[in-house]
């Protein structure tokens, strides 16, 4: 199944692939060159399709568990100063998504959306230390009955050119449901209360809606 945010790009890519394949068949005499061109456009289409895939992952909601919002690799676990919303120290967990990962953003927990804001910005590589503050990004805060207020931030990377955010202030977030999408390379930061028990380690692979990032009794 594919994400709705990829519908237009998938359609355009399909048209281009078919057109190039047909033109190569008609106008290129060399069988080898014809094969190479058709193979290249086919691989291009496959890459587009895999990027916009949206696997359905049933979630049994649990307020004491905070789930990974995206697929990727855990690249940061550290205490930092969060300057936009909390303006105090928080525990940051960051997940980096490569272009081959599923790029759906999922709500990490249930709760009331207290804050949602879009920021235009730069396109530094997603793992750059200043990407969280200078890149194009969206900031969302969910108030959960167990964790309290948790902030997650979608951050565009060097290749990303559009962040989609479905969270709006006043909405109820449903754990595991689609919260948005980041097109072509990115990262998501989580900012948790100090003392939260982290359930992942650096360089661990995370699966959105499945991997337990944190536990709170």
The domain spans of the chain are 4-51, 65-215
| H/E run at residue 182 | strand 178-183
Question: Is pLDDT larger for residue 48 or for residue 174?
Answer: 174
**Residue 193 above 90 pLDDT?**
yes
Q: What is the mean pLDDT of residues 20-35?
A: 89
Residues labelled catalytic: 186
The rounded percent of the chain whose pLDDT value lies above 90 is 58
Q: What is the pLDDT of residue 123?
A: 61
Q: Is the pLDDT of residue 126 over 60?
A: no
Its pTM stands at 0.81
Quick one: pLDDT at residue 121?
72
- Residues 158-186 pLDDT 10s: 665 578 899 999 999 999 999 998 876 68
What is the C-alpha to C-alpha distance for residues 40 and 34, in angstroms, rounded to an integer?
A: 10
The listed range with the strongest mean pLDDT (38-47, 180-189, 190-199) is 190-199
Q: What is the pLDDT of residues 70-110, one digit of tens each?
A: 999 999 999 999 999 999 999 999 999 887 888 889 999 99
Contacts 24+ apart (CB under 8 A), 80-89: 80/191, 82/151, 82/191, 83/133, 84/139, 85/115, 85/139, 85/141, 85/151, 86/149, 86/151, 86/191, 89/194
CATH of span 65-215? 2.70.70
Cα dihedral: 120, 75, 53, 191 (round 10): -60
Confidence band, pLDDT 50/70/90 cuts, at residue 50 = confident
What pLDDT, on a 0 to 100 scale, did the predictor assign at position 178?
Answer: 93
């Amino acid at each position: 199944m594919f994400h709705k945010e990829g519908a237009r790009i998938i359609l355009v890519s399909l048209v281009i692939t078919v057109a190039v394949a047909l033109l190569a068949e008609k106008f290129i005499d060399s069988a080898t060159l014809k094969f190479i061109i058709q193979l290249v456009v086919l691989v291009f289409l496959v890459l587009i399709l895999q990027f916009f895939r949206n696997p359905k992952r049933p979630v049994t909601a649990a307020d004491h568990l905070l789930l990974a919002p995206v697929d990727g690799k855990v690249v940061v676990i550290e205490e930092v100063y969060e300057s936009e919303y909390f303006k105090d120290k928080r525990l940051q967990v960051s997940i980096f998504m490569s272009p081959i990962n599923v790029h759906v953003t999922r709500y990490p927990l249930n709760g009331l959306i207290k804050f949602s804001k879009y920021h235009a910005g730069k396109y530094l590589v997603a793992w750059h230390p200043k990407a969280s503050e200078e890149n194009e990004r969206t900031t969302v805060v969910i108030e959960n009955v167990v964790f309290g207020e948790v902030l997650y931030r979608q951050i565009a990377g060097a290749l990303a050119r559009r962040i989609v955010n479905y969270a709006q202030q006043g909405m109820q977030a449903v754990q595991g449901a689609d919260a948005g999408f980041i097109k072509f390379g990115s990262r998501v930061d989580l900012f948790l209360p100090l003392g939260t028990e982290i359930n992942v380690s650096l360089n661990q692979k995370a699966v959105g809606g499945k991997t337990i990032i944190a536990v709170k009794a």
